[in-house]
Structure 1
Amino acid sequence: MSDLSSVNHQINPENIKVSLSQKSTMDSSTNNQQEFQENQDTTNEQTNGNENQEKSDDHTIPAVENTTEIYYPFDPRDHGLDENFSMINYGDIRDKLIHPGHHDIQAFLTTFINTQVDRPITLLTEETTIMKLSNNDYYLLETSNFITPMLNEPYYIGKTAFVNVMSGIYALGIAECTTHRMAISIPSTIDIPTRNIIIPLITQGYLDAATDAHVSVQGIRIINSSSFLIGGNATSIILEQQILRRDIACPGDIIILTKPIGTSVAIALSQYIEDPVKRNEIIKKIKLSDVLDAKYRALDVMVKSNLYPAVLMRKYATHAVCEISTHGLYGHADVLVKKQLQPVDFVINNLPIISKMDMVAKLVGLSGQFLTGRLPEISGGLLVVMSKEHGIHYCQTITQTYGGQAWIIGSVEPGNGSVLIKNLPKIINVPDMEQKSKKH
């Protein structure tokens, strides 16, 4: 990985743009979707009204407040800390971004599963497992995840950590959470007064995100370690019929992505510009205001829950789905396509990205990895496979009802279990979001 991730980051509040109406977000999503459909062979015909939609099942879609997140950059001085304090100094971004490949993890977990003869486990994703409980018809779904501070934003790191944990459950279309515990690993090098300021901010962000998702957090575990890690563990006890099938993609289906990619590039860029030499190199190609816009668009992506898009999948007969996170778009799609019962390929022709991050990736030598979906995402979206007809309605509903965004990025074709990303995919630049100010 480039040394993008090693530079500390501090934001000047005077550079933050303010205010954005939700309508502009919805309009940009609609316009992008229309432009996208004009260039995508699989979506060149619009369906009318609600024709052929499936009726919603008994799974209730939680109420979602249709508002834009309000941000305010964390200033250590507001909390009695030294102005040079940064959570990033206590994180371990490089180790998080250079994650073991999904093939390595798959091999390890396959070996592990083969030893569990008494309690068979079905692997769903790298972080999520499901196990049939003894002597009844219920299953235990369990997921856990952790992130390291990639920004000096304690409150929003807490929110991101919660969203990241719950995505493993949401990727199965499950909204209910039976138990949820938060966990924080605190660097032993950070002094107690600083801990007493930072930990409550992280925890408040985590709990606020939980409240928004109608999840009760039963407890928190705090341990000492060499670096910051924030995350948790969530479980859900469910009946088998509540689990969405993830292995029935068929030729003619379309592939949808519910969040743009580019979070790791945008976040790393916001740190990169703090080095004067590297900053001069960057601003020759991209404006400083664009860097800040990208950083806050990435933050908006990271704290946005996958709850609503996940539950909505039940209404539109999802054939396959996975979350996009540590292993990037390609890595997670590759695991998913190999689970399909039919011999198919996932063909990806379009990439919705945080605005201008393709330019930045090229500037720092990561263009090849970025344009093939091989860079990690931080609290990314869902990759959803549906029929063309249902998929178009799914995207429209997310935009018009939820105020979110979703893009049709490709199609399912007959094949041999491969992910094929077009050599020069069509780039959809997701506009940056202006930010309102709010202190935490």
Structure 2
Amino acid sequence: MCDVVCSGSSTYYWSLVDVVYLHTKQTYSYRIAHKKKGWKSSLLVPQDVLKGFLAGIVSHSNVTDNSIGRITCANVLSDVYATGCTKIDSLTLIISLSENMTEREQNTVMPLIMNGFRQNAESAGLIFNLNSAVHNPWCIIGGTATAVCSATEYINPLEAVAGQVLVLTKPLGAQIACNANRWCEKKERWEKLSKVTALTEIQTAYKCAVSSMIRLNKHAAELMHKYKAKAATDVTGFGILGHARNLAAYQKNKIKFVITALPVIKNVMKMAAVMGVREKFLKGTTPETSGGLLISMDEDVAGEYCNELKSIEGWDCWIVGKVVEGENEAIVVENPNIIEVEYL
């Protein structure tokens, strides 16, 4: 029996006596850019081959990086980790190569993606399978993760209680930082950004974003058991408010999630203002990719949770809100506390 569809992604939970089946599927599509006349590169792959949802992580300086594969793997696993389950039984990479790519481009891009995906899979203690690579008008990258676990290995995400607090395990603003990095490539856009920020600040924010997105939520999920978390979701495409609303809507108790603080990568707020997304960010609706876990837990252990996670990963996490009585909804308060996060 399907109990709930949670977190705004294709994650499904079936409860079978004391066994829980978890399955998640994530895909991303990339448009293929046409090569400009006279375009030259010493690299095997055009630096603007991949366009689309995660295009911002492909920069001219690191096109040979395997970050896309690592981020894809982290994001696929994140939905299962949000349930507290960290023992994955099956992980599959889904990839579709663009019919507009040359054979040389395909033979270069695909290994980069696979190597990145493999690197994070190995970090999670997993061996992944490759779904058949097919051709498509766009390059599509994604995957599926499946876990069959006992009830003790799984944290029911529907039991938040008024009086608890909300913890966020990764900073927000990764997509904005990546988009700002792309803005530097266009003269007219760079002129706007350069009035409020330096190139070094954009590059540092970009590095922070990539480092955050490739980081697995596995340790955060493991500690959820120790500190008896009662509900969690990962924060991805619908923004922190979208995922908080979706999680709140299915809670067994009459509660309301009140988000009072927004941790954000340093200098991203001034970039967001120039890019026209500052107000959207303050409302909690800017999309994230491979974001952290938003967790409801008791206030008296939340600080310990944050400290222990930092001792393991070297990254801060934050208490960003509270759980109060309400009608199963979520809000971001007016003028939330902005916490700037330094790149580590």
Class of the TM-score when normalised by the shorter of the 2 chains: 0.7 to 0.9
When residues 388 and 121 of structure 1 are mapped into structure 2, their CA distance, relative to the original with a 3 A threshold, is: closer
Which residue does the alignment assign to 2:163? 252
Distance of 1:322 and 1:120 partners within structure 2: 18
Distance of 1:161 and 1:275 partners within structure 2: 27
Distance of 1:124 and 1:368 partners within structure 2: 26
What secondary structure, in the 3-state scheme, does the structure 1 residue paired with 2:219 have? helix
Matched, 1:275 2:186: yes
Return the letter of the residue paired with 2:11. T
Q: Counterparts of 1:140-289 in structure 2 under 5 Å?
A: 140-148=21-29, 149-150=54-55, 151-152=57-58, 153=63, 154-289=65-200
List alignment gaps of at least 5 residues for structure 2. Answer: 30-53
Q: Deviation digits for residues 176-213 of structure 1, max 9, x if unmatched?
A: 11111111111100000111111111100100110011
Distance of 2:312 and 2:94 partners within structure 1: 33
Which residue does the alignment assign to 2:317? 406
Give 1:310's match in structure 2, choosing from 221, 226, 240: 221
TM-score by length of 1: 0.69
What secondary structure, in the 3-state scheme, does the structure 1 residue paired with 2:202 have? helix
Matched, 1:427 2:338: yes
The answer on whether the counterparts of 2:4 and 2:250 sit within 8 Å (CA) in structure 1 is no
Q: Counterparts of 1:76-155 in structure 2 under 5 Å?
A: 120=2, 122-125=4-7, 126-132=9-15, 137-148=18-29, 149-150=54-55, 151-152=57-58, 153=63, 154-155=65-66
The answer on whether the counterparts of 1:146 and 1:164 sit within 8 Å (CA) in structure 2 is no
The alignment yields a C-alpha RMSD, in angstroms, of 1.5
The answer on whether the counterparts of 1:182 and 1:221 sit within 8 Å (CA) in structure 2 is no
The answer on whether the counterparts of 1:162 and 1:210 sit within 8 Å (CA) in structure 2 is yes
More strand by share: 2
Distance of 1:181 and 1:312 partners within structure 2: 26
The answer on whether the counterparts of 2:238 and 2:288 sit within 8 Å (CA) in structure 1 is yes
Shift of 1:297: 0.6
The answer on whether the counterparts of 1:247 and 1:340 sit within 8 Å (CA) in structure 2 is yes
When residues 319 and 120 of structure 1 are mapped into structure 2, their CA distance, relative to the original with a 3 A threshold, is: closer
Which structure is larger by alpha-carbon Rg, 1 or 2?
1
Return the letter of the residue paired with 1:340. Q
Return the letter of the residue paired with 1:409. V
Distance of 1:350 and 1:378 partners within structure 2: 19
Give the count of matched residue pairs: 313
TM-score by length of 2: 0.87
Which residue does the alignment assign to 2:48? none
Return the letter of the residue paired with 1:128. T
Shift of 1:140: 2.0
Shift of 1:378: 0.8
Q: Deviation digits for residues 67-103 of structure 1, max 9, x if unmatched?
A: xxxxxxxxxxxxxxxxxxxxxxxxxxxxxxxxxxxxx
Shift of 1:417: 1.9
What secondary structure, in the 3-state scheme, does the structure 2 residue paired with 1:310 have? helix
Identity rate, percent: 27
List alignment gaps of at least 5 residues for structure 1. Answer: 1-118, 434-440
Q: Counterparts of 1:57-76 in structure 2 under 5 Å?
A: none
